[in-house]
Structure 1
Amino acid sequence: MKRIVNVSGKDQLKAFIDFPHDLYKDDPCYVPELFIAQRDLLTPGKHPFHEHSTIQLYLAYDGNKIVGRIAAILNKNHNTFNNTRDGFFGFFDVINDAEVARMLFEQADGWLRQQGVTAAIGPANFSTNETCGLLVEGFDTPPAAMMTYNKPYYSALIEAAGFGKKVDILAYRFGADGYDDRSVRVKDTMLSRLKQKGITIRPVNVKNFKEEVRQIRNVYNNAWDKNLGFVPMTEAEFDYMAKDMKMILDTDFCLVAEKDGRAIGFALAIPDINEVLINVKRGRLLPLGLFKLLFGLKKVKGIRVITLGVEEGFRKLGIEACFYASIIEAYRKKKLTRAEASWVLEDNAAMNNALLNIKGVPYKKYRIFEKAL
């Protein structure tokens, strides 16, 4: 008998987190999420998202076997900032069974309606500030760090539950030498021009990390505020994320543009730790997973360019090109062989054109869905 249950207690939360490991056990592209990170993300009091918003987790059973999961998410800060009444679904995983998927969405939709929302959007875990989007093209390679992965049949199940496309987001691939290095060749000239305007570009200062994070958060909340679905990160949320990032941070790939001592832009690329995590069984760091992670980081050959942005009023001065040039130089110096730039909204013409101009290849496409409630 198929049924849906509300997740409660540590054992059910553990089962919720572990379900994908069983669903994808024979999939060579699946990368397990770290159990500790997922547990904290989903636990009120552990992650700062819960200070302002609410989630409800559900598991689907067929008899005594777990066959699906979903989270219904009320992101109150999103609705306040965007003046909307949206709800989200996330952490969606299910066997290839339309009935089970329908039952999961009925539960999630019902909970969202009780919160007074008028539309369901997803997948998002919990917003566009975290992992989001359903993979719809590019199933032949594992996801890069902090990107999603799912079975190809998911899109049909989501559409059968009444959802339609809201927007697609793209990931671009670069090989060892498959990029245009014009920005590197003109970097010194551009830096000289920026200096005349009082603008400098430098690596992040980890010795003054707290103040750096504060300034970067201001840039993030200012430079991305026009993006679809954007919601400003609270100080606690940004600090939480920065603390995690610091553990794998390479300052050659974390750059700050500033004018008169104030940050006005930043770029961040991180090692593609999924090259290591793909071998960490069921996302457990203990007893051997931590060893694999620490030693595996030294062998990582890929990066993911996560963020590259400049505040309005300072764009198109050459800051973005200098960011690209510096990342390319570090990429060459470290003899890396693969890079991904992600993600980019399909209608962000400026960023898509910039990546195409340096010979980026769009190789994965993700979709965010929406339906009226």
Structure 2
Amino acid sequence: MLDANVVIEPVEGKKGRAEFVDIGRAFAAREPHAVPQLRSEQLELVNPGKNPFFGHASHQLFVARRGGKPVGRISAHIDHLALELPREQGFGPGAGMFGYFDAEDEASAHRLLAQAEHWLRDRGMDRAIGPISMSIWEEPGLLTKGQDHAPLIMMGHHPAAYQDWIESAGYARVMTLLTYDLDVTHDFPPLVRRIVQSGQRNERITVRTVDKKRWDEEVEVILAILNDAWSNNWGFVPFTPEEIAYAGKKLKPVIHEEINMIAELDGRPVAFMLTFPDVNGVLRKVDGKLFPFGWLHLLRWMRKPMGSDMRVPLMGVLKELHNSRLASQLAFMMISQIRETATRLYGTQRAEIGWILDDNRGMKAIADAIESSVNREYAIYQKPLAR
């Protein structure tokens, strides 16, 4: 039975989006290890006039109230590019999504999920998948392991109770996303070092840093490799040209050339690895606020992120090289160079790799080979929508 005292209201306009974001911020503030994000960035992500994701998506935001008090929020959305993909890759025809899920209790959670399902069903969807907030490239999945420590940049953090509430509403896990923790103060095992040294002697291979003077070109190179390398992955949705330009603009401030790599084979870019210093350490100190002095701390950190943890959120090798020794060799060469540089220039002690799909045996093998260990798990759920 659904709680009749919980009223679900659709979100409309700028004022409604601001309340939607602030409700999420209030829920996050209750969690001891959640990190307050910049409100301006959160508002931009749900603004159809600014986020190019909405150029290929339909959506509706909802807020739950009990006695006039906000007790949760949720998004229901349809990524029309995802509908064009094969069903065996996770999405495809009939795949609706929910995201931005927060709830006070199980009753409000079930009302919110039911509302999102109703919205998706009315638009011809036959299943609900989530939480995905809101693009697969933003914050996919529900944290189900790792609530005992803070997330790194661009990773979500959720109360443990949400898992029970989603599963009790009839959802079953369809994919797990993994992040791996790595102590970078120690060199890699001898076997990995030998593979790296062999690659360094190969005149066909060049591993170079990105060039921010040609940043727009570099972004196109990186995302062209990504769109090819990930094209068979579960949940993959290709970046549009508008999203590539938007991603380049948003990422540029956190890009430090010396820890972001492109690998070339015979002069042709075939692989990349991105590394972001963990801005969450600064955001925690300034409580996610730029004013009055937060901007000064953030600007100083961006220039020289000393002591920062690092996150490797994305890497890719062209599909033609998959299942080859060269693919793993290129990955080891890039991450080895990043490890050495981050520890030497920034005093980094810890890095996080991922997320990595649980069925990606190649990337999991690389993570195991460098002796990293799973520290966080994110679940993506699915539920059939009965007609």
Q: TM-score, normalised by structure 1?
A: 0.94
Are residue 252 (structure 1) and residue 252 (structure 2) matched?
no
Structure 1 window deviating more from structure 2 (183-192 vs 47-56): it is: 183-192
Are residue 85 (structure 1) and residue 90 (structure 2) matched?
no
Q: Give 1:372's aligned amino acid.
A: P
Contact 1:273–1:300 (CA under 8 A) maintained in structure 2: no
Distance (whole Å) between structure 2 residues aligned to residue 25 and residue 263 of structure 1: 43
Q: 2:308 corresponds to which residue?
A: 301
Q: 1:370 corresponds to which residue?
A: 382
3-state secondary structure, aligned to 1:278:
helix
C-alpha displacement of 1:191: 2.3
Q: How does 1:183-222 map to 2 (within 5 A)?
A: 183-184=192-193, 187-193=196-202, 195=203, 198-222=204-228
Q: 2:371 corresponds to which residue?
A: 359
- Which structure 1 residue ranges, 5 or more long, are not aligned? none
Q: How does 1:171-320 map to 2 (within 5 A)?
A: 171-178=179-186, 180-182=188-190, 183-184=192-193, 187-193=196-202, 195=203, 198-281=204-287, 283-297=288-302, 298-315=305-322, 316-317=325-326, 318-320=329-331
Distance (whole Å) between structure 1 residues aligned to residue 165 and residue 144 of structure 2: 12
Distance (whole Å) between structure 2 residues aligned to residue 65 and residue 170 of structure 1: 35
Q: Give 1:166's aligned amino acid.
A: V
Are residue 47 (structure 1) and residue 55 (structure 2) matched?
no
Contact 1:53–1:74 (CA under 8 A) maintained in structure 2: yes
Which of the numbers 343, 359, 366 marks the counterpart of 1:347? Answer: 359
C-alpha displacement of 1:178: 4.9
Distance (whole Å) between structure 2 residues aligned to residue 178 and residue 104 of structure 1: 47
Q: How does 1:144-159 map to 2 (within 5 A)?
A: 144-159=152-167
Contact 1:181–1:325 (CA under 8 A) maintained in structure 2: no
C-alpha displacement of 1:4: 0.7
C-alpha displacement of 1:86: 0.3
C-alpha displacement of 1:64: 2.2
C-alpha displacement of 1:185: 5.6
Distance (whole Å) between structure 1 residues aligned to residue 136 and residue 51 of structure 2: 16
C-alpha displacement of 1:181: 4.7
C-alpha displacement of 1:184: 4.4
Distance (whole Å) between structure 2 residues aligned to residue 73 and residue 80 of structure 1: 15
Q: 2:146 corresponds to which residue?
A: 138
C-alpha displacement of 1:294: 1.7
Distance (whole Å) between structure 1 residues aligned to residue 334 and residue 122 of structure 2: 46
Distance (whole Å) between structure 2 residues aligned to residue 302 and residue 112 of structure 1: 39
- Cα deviation 1:33-80 (Å, max 9, x = unaligned): 221111111111211111111110000111221110000010001111
Contact 1:181–1:328 (CA under 8 A) maintained in structure 2: no
Contact 1:184–1:329 (CA under 8 A) maintained in structure 2: no
Distance (whole Å) between structure 2 residues aligned to residue 323 and residue 176 of structure 1: 14
Shift of the 31–62 alpha-carbon distance from structure 1 to 2, 3 Å rule, reads same
3-state secondary structure, aligned to 1:210:
helix
Q: Give 1:369's aligned amino acid.
A: Y
Distance (whole Å) between structure 1 residues aligned to residue 130 and residue 61 of structure 2: 15
Q: 2:128 corresponds to which residue?
A: 120
Structure 1 window deviating more from structure 2 (112-121 vs 283-292): it is: 283-292
Contact 1:128–1:229 (CA under 8 A) maintained in structure 2: yes
Contact 1:257–1:265 (CA under 8 A) maintained in structure 2: yes
C-alpha displacement of 1:179: 5.6
3-state secondary structure, aligned to 1:14:
helix
- Which structure 2 residue ranges, 5 or more long, are not aligned? 87-91
Q: 2:112 corresponds to which residue?
A: 104
Contact 1:271–1:304 (CA under 8 A) maintained in structure 2: yes
Contact 1:272–1:300 (CA under 8 A) maintained in structure 2: no
Q: 2:89 corresponds to which residue?
A: none
Distance (whole Å) between structure 2 residues aligned to residue 98 and residue 132 of structure 1: 21
Contact 2:307–2:349 (CA under 8 A) maintained in structure 1: no
Are residue 61 (structure 1) and residue 68 (structure 2) matched?
no
C-alpha displacement of 1:26: 4.0
- Cα deviation 1:297-320 (Å, max 9, x = unaligned): 434420001112100223421211
Distance (whole Å) between structure 2 residues aligned to residue 109 and residue 154 of structure 1: 17
Q: Give 2:46's aligned amino acid.
A: L
Q: TM-score, normalised by structure 2?
A: 0.91
3-state secondary structure, aligned to 1:24:
helix
C-alpha displacement of 1:105: 0.8
Q: Give 1:274's aligned amino acid.
A: N
Distance (whole Å) between structure 2 residues aligned to residue 119 and residue 288 of structure 1: 46
Shift of the 224–168 alpha-carbon distance from structure 1 to 2, 3 Å rule, reads same
C-alpha displacement of 1:186: 5.0
Shift of the 143–321 alpha-carbon distance from structure 1 to 2, 3 Å rule, reads same
Shift of the 41–219 alpha-carbon distance from structure 1 to 2, 3 Å rule, reads same
Shift of the 279–99 alpha-carbon distance from structure 1 to 2, 3 Å rule, reads same
Distance (whole Å) between structure 2 residues aligned to residue 87 and residue 11 of structure 1: 26
- Cα deviation 1:324-361 (Å, max 9, x = unaligned): 21112112213211110011111211111211111101
C-alpha displacement of 1:284: 3.2
